[in-house]
Amino acid sequence: MSASVSASRVGVWLIGARGSVATTVVAGCAAVTAGLHPPTGLVTETPAFADSRLPALEGLVFGGHDTLDCPLPKRAEALAAGGVLPHGLPAAVGAELTAADHEIRPGGPLPGDTRTDDELIAVFAADIRDFARRRGLDRAVVVNVASTEPAATGTALPASSLYAAAALRAGCPYVNFTPSTGLHHPALASLAASSGLPHAGRDGKTGQTLLRSALGPMFAQRALAVRAWSGTNLLGGGDGASLADPAAAAAKNAGKERVLADTLGTVPEGEVHIDDVPVLGDWKTAWDHVAFDGFLGARMILQTTWQGCDSALAAPLVLDLVRLVARAHERGLSGPLAELGFFFKDPVGEGSSALGEQYAALTAFAGRLRDGRTR
Ligand SMILES: NC(=O)c1ccc[n+]([C@@H]2O[C@H](COP(=O)([O-])OP(=O)(O)OC[C@H]3O[C@@H](n4cnc5c(N)ncnc54)[C@H](O)[C@@H]3O)[C@@H](O)[C@H]2O)c1
């Protein structure tokens, strides 16, 4: 179904604009708006969002920053060769990929970059403002889909926080689809609070953690005692390579483990591992092994195997988030949008980690966007 939409023109400024997720967002949006594919996986195209006055997919305009210079159509061809995008799609949406490619500006900091943090923030913010002005946009949403960084230590601003600061300086709502620090840096707290802008994050919930947030509440509601919950992920692609760094993987795994602690009320034994297997590309296998006790101590095991295409799972959520956050901005909402916790491993603000409760909060939020109530 097609939601009742607004005609506003909304910019989507992707940090990591030449990555797998970003390329799938641009190609996928073009494919759906051209009627080449149904909007499978797009939560905002379901009946709960009818009349929420979300921006139309047709009104989204793409640009962004990246530190690589591989043209977007070439990235899309590589994704099609890996089976992530359907064969023939890069050619069918070549004009849209080229248009987005023309709006990608050099990211940073690059090796040997001598610019100060403030200079980098100023350049990034100017790029975003220039995009919004030239393209006649009503607003632009900045979305971080760049490589996962190691958790920030000390006071230095990591790249993700420089971009988050630039989003605020350019007057744009901000979404952090990664576990990187972004707006969570203490140096940005007062700026974020006084900006009057809405923001959402962190780390898109697309596979193993999605399953955990659905199954964790089931064990708790059935009074079954989970003794251990262990998980292993195998994936390749750029994300697999980034997460081969134990510090980057630690940032990702913290979110996965938090969901279990919140939904079960205890921290079960067990760890999560992420292994880089380059030949798998964007195709992830996630195993979970859950040891639990039933009545009279009967010992049981649940095992799940999730075989997903990472970017195909992530891209529709990025489009959903852009539409929801843009509409929230239009309605004058500001601060952390806890109601969007449904989409994240480590949501901002206060809210449940259980998927069912998160969905109820999201659909209530859809109602608020419809009515125009701000609280
Ligand atoms: N299912 C999913 O795919 C999923 C789920 C949750 C989170 N994520 C997160 O989304 C992000 C993107 O995933 P991907 O598979 O597209 O990764 P990718 O490696 O294909 O793309 C990342 C892009 O970021 C760019 N980049 C790196 N540093 C940059 C910088 N300083 N400035 C600008 N650009 C920079 C890289 O050049 C690359 O083009 C990752 O952080 C990943 O953890 C993905």
In angstroms, what is the span from residue 283 Cα to ligand 1's centroid? 15
The reply to whether 238 and 360 lie within a common domain is no
Domain count, the chain: 2
Report the C-alpha gap between 358 and 213 in whole angstroms: 10
Q: Domain boundary at 286, 309, 332, which?
A: 309
At 345 the pLDDT is: 93
Which residues lie across from 108 on neighbouring strands?
none
At 221 the pLDDT is: 96
Report the C-alpha gap between 260 and 270 in whole angstroms: 11
At 290 the pLDDT is: 98
- pLDDT average, residue stretch 356-364: 97
- Measured at the CA of 343, the angle between CA 338 and CA 345, to 5 degrees, comes to 85
At 6 the pLDDT is: 79
For residue 304, the enclosing domain spans 208-309
pLDDT > 70? residue 218: yes
Q: Which amino acid is at 34?
A: A
In angstroms, what is the span from residue 238 Cα to ligand 1's centroid? 7
CA distances from 195 to 78, 192, 236 (A): 39, 5, 38
Pairing of strands 60-66, 10-15: parallel
In angstroms, what is the span from residue 149 Cα to ligand 1's centroid? 9
The reply to whether 188 and 227 lie within a common domain is no
Report the C-alpha gap between 213 and 257 in whole angstroms: 10
At 373 the pLDDT is: 57
Tell me the residue ranges of DSSP E strands in 153-298. 174-176, 198-200, 225-235, 272-276, 283-293
> For the segment 257-309, what is each residue's pLDDT rounded down to a tens digit?
788 999 999 999 999 899 999 999 889 999 999 999 999 999 999 999 999 99
> For the segment 150-171, what is each residue's pLDDT rounded down to a tens digit?
887 777 799 999 999 999 999 9
The reply to whether 278 and 295 lie within a common domain is yes
**CB-based contact 27:76 (threshold 8 Å):** yes
At 156 the pLDDT is: 79
Q: What CATH number has the domain bearing residue 148?
A: 3.40.50.720
**CB-based contact 5:53 (threshold 8 Å):** yes
The reply to whether 165 and 275 lie within a common domain is no
pLDDT > 70? residue 375: no
Strand, helix or coil at 14?
Answer: strand
Q: Does residue 43 or residue 4 have the better pLDDT?
A: 43
Q: Which atom of ligand 1 is nearest to the CA of 18?
A: 39
In angstroms, what is the span from residue 313 Cα to ligand 1's centroid? 14
Residue nearest to atom 21 of ligand 1 (CA): 19
Q: Which helix (H) or strand (E) holds 80?
A: helix 72-81
With a 6 Å cutoff on the Cβ, whether 107 touches ligand 1 is yes
In angstroms, what is the span from residue 371 Cα to ligand 1's centroid? 35
With a 6 Å cutoff on the Cβ, whether 206 touches ligand 1 is yes
pLDDT > 70? residue 1: no
Q: Which helix (H) or strand (E) holds 367?
A: helix 355-371
- pLDDT average, residue stretch 325-338: 97
With a 6 Å cutoff on the Cβ, whether 68 touches ligand 1 is yes
In angstroms, what is the span from residue 123 Cα to ligand 1's centroid? 21
With a 6 Å cutoff on the Cβ, whether 217 touches ligand 1 is no
The reply to whether 32 and 160 lie within a common domain is yes
At 3 the pLDDT is: 45
With a 6 Å cutoff on the Cβ, whether 89 touches ligand 1 is no
Total residue count of the chain as it appears in this document:
375
Q: Which token pair is 189?
A: 């707290």
With a 6 Å cutoff on the Cβ, whether 159 touches ligand 1 is yes
In sign, the C-alpha dihedral spanning 131, 372, 324, 8 is negative
In angstroms, what is the span from residue 76 Cα to ligand 1's centroid? 15
Rounded to 5 degrees, what are φ and ψ at 362? Answer: -65, -45
With a 6 Å cutoff on the Cβ, whether 291 touches ligand 1 is no
Q: What CATH number has the domain bearing residue 301?
A: 3.30.360.10
At 247 the pLDDT is: 77
Query: Of 20, 21, 320, which is best to mutate to test ligand 1, by the most ligand atoms within 8 angstroms of its C-beta?
Result: 21
In angstroms, what is the span from residue 355 Cα to ligand 1's centroid? 25
With a 6 Å cutoff on the Cβ, whether 176 touches ligand 1 is no
Residue nearest to atom 25 of ligand 1 (CA): 16
The reply to whether 318 and 301 lie within a common domain is no
Cα dihedral 261, 230, 208, 246, rounded to 10, equals 90
- pLDDT average, residue stretch 175-204: 96
Q: Which token pair is 330?
A: 């239009």
Neighbours of 279 (CB within 10 A): 7
The reply to whether 183 and 261 lie within a common domain is no
At 374 the pLDDT is: 52
pLDDT > 50? residue 2: no
With a 6 Å cutoff on the Cβ, whether 311 touches ligand 1 is yes
The reply to whether 96 and 188 lie within a common domain is yes
At 371 the pLDDT is: 76
The reply to whether 193 and 342 lie within a common domain is yes
Residue in 249, 251, 214, 215 with CA at minimum distance from that of residue 232: 249
pLDDT > 60? residue 25: yes
In angstroms, what is the span from residue 131 Cα to ligand 1's centroid? 21
Q: Domain boundary at 289, 309, 329, which?
A: 309
At 33 the pLDDT is: 98
- pLDDT average, residue stretch 53-72: 97
Report the C-alpha gap between 202 and 151 in whole angstroms: 13
Report the C-alpha gap between 45 and 33 in whole angstroms: 12
At 238 the pLDDT is: 79
The reply to whether 299 and 318 lie within a common domain is no
The reply to whether 190 and 305 lie within a common domain is no
> For the segment 68-125, what is each residue's pLDDT rounded down to a tens digit?
999 999 999 999 999 999 999 999 999 999 999 999 999 999 889 999 999 999 999 9
The reply to whether 297 and 281 lie within a common domain is yes
- pLDDT average, residue stretch 189-195: 95
